[in-house]
Amino acid sequence: MQTHNTSSLNNWNLPRTISGKLKLTIMFGNVMFSLGLVFFLFGSVFVIVFGANTDFTSTFAFKDTDPVVRGVIVHVEETNSRENKTRIYHNTYNYSVNGKVYTSDAYSLGPDVSPLDSVDVQYTAADPSLSVIPGMRKAPFQIWVLFMTMLFPFIGLVFLVIGLRRSRKNIHLLQTGLHAHGKVTRKEATSTKINKQTVYKVYFSFTTKDGMLTEGMVKTHKPALVEDEEKEQLVYDATNPSDAVLIDTLPKAVRRFLENNT
């Protein structure tokens, strides 16, 4: 059970001054923000890696009317990459345009060709060095693979925005919020889980300094933190009392700060 020095809690000295370090504590103490940052950063790394190995040329650089010549495969090797559990192969080929020999690369799913095989080569009239073997691609991965990897940083960005909004709200409440005691009235399970723990909507009621009975709500995956006392401490917005946060849902450093500055 958590205990607090309730005798030191009052509503003097508003607004409270919050250091940059404490603001960071609030942000990183928000699970949505922390998870979002991890998803966004790691997801962005995958986007960069796959983006550098994605075939944009085959999709946008060639037209059906571009000329075609015969070429020959000179080298075939496996790559370390797979698509849908199928190995991607790197193929090197030569072809000639107007007596000039060009060498280029194409990628295929599986060993579609072997050295000395004759293949069609399509090239652009404006730049004969830019070519592709029809049915193959110019980089290991297709564009849809890049789009799939972009899901992870996108999800992370959504989490970041949600977490940042909640953190800004909590920072505002810590700076200007009035202190009160409330009672948890009920909780509702949501479909969200964090670290395999269900996130709950926890509802609580309290009376403002003006004597108005108000209900607030917080989301937490640790409801036990706000169920260990008959009355829970909170801070609320004087202009919008339903905008409130239970102190026990905040990081311990924030709770210590509030006890010393309210």
Dist CA 120 CA 110 (whole Å): 18
pTM: 0.70
261 pLDDT band, cuts 50/70/90, is low
pLDDT score at 4: 44
11 pLDDT band, cuts 50/70/90, is low
**pLDDT for 191-228, tens place per residue?**
988 888 999 999 999 999 999 999 999 999 988 888 87
**pLDDT for 76-107, tens place per residue?**
999 999 988 899 999 999 999 999 999 999 99
